[in-house]
Amino acid sequence: MASSCHYCQAPLKQVVADLGLSPVSNHFRTASEAATQGQTFYPLTAMVCEACWLVQLTDVTTPPHFDENYAYFSSYSSSWLDHAKRYAAQMQTKLDLGPQSLVVELASNDGYLLQYFKKAGVRVLGIEPSANVAAYAKEHHGIDCVVDFFGRTLADKLREQGTCADLIVGNNVLAHVPDISDFVAGIPRILAKDGTATFEFPHLLQMLKLGQFDTIYHEHFSYLSLLCIETIFASHKLSIYGAEELPTHGGSLRIYAKHANSSIEDATLAAGLDKIRKNEAAFGLDQVQSYRSFANLPARCKTDLLAFLVELHRTGKKICGYGAPAKGNTMLNYCGIGPELLPFTTDMSPQKQGMVLPGQNIPVYSPDAIWTEKPDYILILPWNLCDEIAAQLHPARDWGAKFVVAVPELEVF
Ligand SMILES: [Zn+2]
């Protein structure tokens, strides 16, 4: 494979996970489109750069990832809203944000986070490439958004217009940008002298430790460690002064960055940073063997889940899915699970209802279908929201329904 690192251009040699061919995970279609039109499958392979330790997808030209019709609305998840609300309260205290302060969120989505700063009287600005979710933020929360992709060029334009942020937030965006270096280059351009920038991203260490191979999909270009992110930030004169581990998305990191010449300090956050550096070193994130051993895990998940579903099929038990997230599409496509083994899934998002999943063409219904079909088993595809979903589906216990998650390992409860 003749790919080179997206960040440092060193040649890529080590495969982390080869998940075969898969369609782009947000390409939902109608049943009639699925019955009459082909769908393109693209290689889905993650590799690690042995020079900068960036885990990344190999170069594959897939269609543009922002599809207006099926854009993800963050506010559909109540646990994610709670997370955002807690973060906003915490940062207002920590950074002493008031009516003169400005919070800029990169990939501000439907205003799920900025709404809490706005309600507290802090000035906010969203940057959001999807016009329809940005319009929702304006309409429902009165949040102004710049509809564009963030990077060096946009940051220069914003700085000329006087944008100077006391806090820059980026949640689950670093992994999604095709040119991470250009994106990070924009941050110091609009960050106030003693401002803070925080970023949350799924932690590569957790993915590798727990076998979360389904977090690999085409829209997710990079799989980040603190080790790699410190290198990238340092090259743009940003230094990381704190870090925390979060339970979101199966184990995320929140990093706190500042200008390299800023004097901000926080002893608690610095201790967290030190601990995470040590955990990564102990696992061996700077050694190629640590990545190599991950490559066998997806196959174990696949055989366990297939054996379980085939047994249900043979014994006439009913199963359906809950959720239609990107990670579910990676898993179902890698395992080759179609409607014969999983007759339908359900999703809260009206944009997905009535469509079929990319690749395997499993129909997506409203969660109401669970109450009419009364399945014996419900496969929870967004396992990161498992507790929240199991609580919502609790009444299904009345007819004896059991819940199933497939990643990191098969669990029936
Ligand atoms: Zn590299």
Q: 180-190 and 152-160 helices cross at what angle (nearest 10)?
A: 10
Note the pLDDT of residue 210: 87
| Cβ neighbours of 4 (radius 10 Å) | 13
- Distance, CA of 363 to CA of 222 (rounded, Å): 30
Question: What pLDDT is stored for residue 2 in this prediction?
Answer: 57
Ordered by where they begin, the domains of the chain are 68-287 (3.40.50.150), 298-412 (3.40.50.720)
Q: How far is the CA of 247 from the centre of ligand 1 (A)?
A: 28
3-state secondary structure of 239: strand
Of 200, 250, 240, nearest in space to 86 by CA = 200
**Sign of the CA dihedral 29, 332, 224, 116?**
positive
User: How far away, in angstroms, is 402 Cα from ligand 1 center?
Assistant: 44
Q: How far does the centroid of ligand 1 lie from the alpha carbon of residue 181, in Å?
A: 11
275 Cα to the center of ligand 1, angstroms? 24
What is Dmax (Cα atoms) for the chain?
67
Task: Extract the tokens encoding 47.
Answer: 């590799």
The interaxial angle of helices 180-190 and 226-234, nearest 10 deg, is 60
**β partners of residue 320:** 378
Region class of 163: left (phi > 0), else alpha (psi between -120 and 50), else beta: beta
Tell how far the Cα of 268 is from the centroid of ligand 1, in angstroms. 31
Residue pointed to by tokens 């399945």: 375
- Ligand 1 centre to CA of 280 (Å) is 18
Element (H, E) at 169: strand 165-171
Q: How far is the CA of 288 from the centre of ligand 1 (A)?
A: 13
Distance, CA 308 to ligand 1 centroid (Å)? Answer: 40
Could you give the dihedral angle defined by the CA atoms of residues 305, 309, 311 and 317, in that order, rounded to the nearest 10 degrees? 140
Q: How far is the CA of 106 from the centre of ligand 1 (A)?
A: 24
CA of 293 to the centre of ligand 1 (A): 20
Question: What is the DSSP code (8-state) at residue 295?
Answer: G
Q: Give the Å distance between the CA of 83 and the centre of ligand 1.
A: 32
CA of residue 10 to ligand 1 center, whole Å: 5
d(CA 48, ligand 1 centre) in Å: 8
Rg (CA), the chain: 21
Strands (E), 252-410: 252-259, 319-322, 345-346, 364-365, 377-380, 402-405
From ligand 1's centre to the CA of 234, what distance in Å?
A: 14
pLDDT tens-place string over residues 311-350: 999 999 999 999 999 999 999 999 999 999 999 999 998 9
Angle, alpha carbons 310-40-45 (nearest 5°)? 75
Q: Which residues pair with 238 in a beta bridge?
A: 259
Average pLDDT along the chain, 413 residues, taken 10 residues at a time: 85 95 91 94 95 92 59 72 96 96 96 97 96 93 96 98 98 93 97 98 94 91 97 98 91 97 96 98 96 89 97 98 95 96 95 95 98 98 92 97 94 96
| Angstrom distance (rounded) from CA 329 to CA 360 | 8
* Residue 175 CA to ligand 1 centre (angstroms): 15
* Ligand 1 centroid distance, CA of 124 (Å): 34
Query: Would you give the DSSP letter of residue 197?
Result: E
> CB–CB of 192/164 below 8 Å?
yes
Question: Would residue 272 be called left, alpha or beta, if left means φ above 0 and alpha means ψ between -120 and 50 degrees?
Answer: alpha
Calpha distance 401→371 (Å, rounded): 11
How confident is the model at residue 229, as a pLDDT?
A: 98
What is the distance in angstroms between the CA of the first residue and the CA of the last residue of the chain? 42
Ligand 1 geometric centre to CA of 244 (Å) = 25
pLDDT at 389: 95
pTM, two decimals, is 0.88
CA of 190 to the centre of ligand 1 (A): 26
